[in-house]
């Protein structure tokens, strides 16, 4: 049940952040340069330009960064739970009581209990172990996804272009 709730919350947060960032960036571009990003985007026959790519790219990056900050503790708890099973059965760690104890503290627990164990073993900052990798992955993927979505929206009329729904599930 917890994974479904976190995925739903993450997706909702991601799209809400993207939409808010997109409108904030478009407003900033319009007030700074006088160029209306949405008007240009919805004009038939117009092509993406530096303003539209920048607006949607930055919105995707902000959305990816926000999602990374939210999702990192959940991803880490999932990984710790999976790795703890392997560590407890690994012959190299059989003689190390401290490592066995730490690995056992993550085993067979839900995400929130696992996060509690991470905080006990590593401190609150431990929940964000690997955030840099997570940020770079989602940051780049969300930028590319939003640019792809913008191009697909611009050049494909409904029902004419077929694209994989998997691409929108990143």
CA pair distance 89, 100, nearest whole angstrom: 10
Mean pLDDT for the stretch of residues 72-92? 79
The answer to whether 83 and 109 have CB atoms below 8 angstroms apart is: no
Q: Which residue has the higher pLDDT, 70 or 157?
A: 70
Return the pLDDT at 23: 94
pLDDT tens per residue across span 4-35: 676 787 778 888 888 899 999 999 999 999 99
Q: Tell me the pLDDT of the chain averaged across its residues.
A: 78
DSSP state of 43: S
pTM tops 0.85: no
Q: Which two tokens stand for residue 2?
A: 């917890």
Sign for the CA dihedral angle at 24, 73, 75, 12 comes to: negative
pLDDT band at 164 (very low <50, low <70, confident <90, very high): very low
Return the pLDDT at 162: 53
């Amino acid at each position: 049940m917890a994974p479904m709730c976190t995925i739903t919350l993450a997706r909702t947060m991601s799209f809400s952040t993207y939409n808010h960032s997109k409108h904030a960036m478009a407003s900033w571009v319009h007030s700074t340069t006088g160029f209306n990003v949405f008007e240009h985007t919805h004009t038939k026959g117009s092509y993406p330009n530096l303003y539209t790519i920048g607006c949607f790219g930055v919105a995707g990056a902000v959305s990816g960064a926000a999602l990374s900050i939210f999702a990192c503790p959940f991803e880490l708890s999932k990984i710790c739970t999976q790795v703890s099973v392997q560590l407890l059965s690994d012959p190299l760690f059989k003689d190390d009581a401290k490592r066995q104890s730490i690995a056992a503290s993550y085993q067979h627990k839900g995400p929130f209990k696992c996060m509690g164990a991470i905080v006990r073993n590593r401190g609150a900052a431990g929940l964000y172990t690997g955030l840099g990798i997570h940020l770079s992955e989602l940051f780049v993927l969300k930028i590319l996804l939003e640019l792809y979505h913008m191009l697909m929206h611009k050049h494909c009329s409904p029902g004419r272009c077929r694209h994989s729904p998997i691409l929108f599930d990143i």
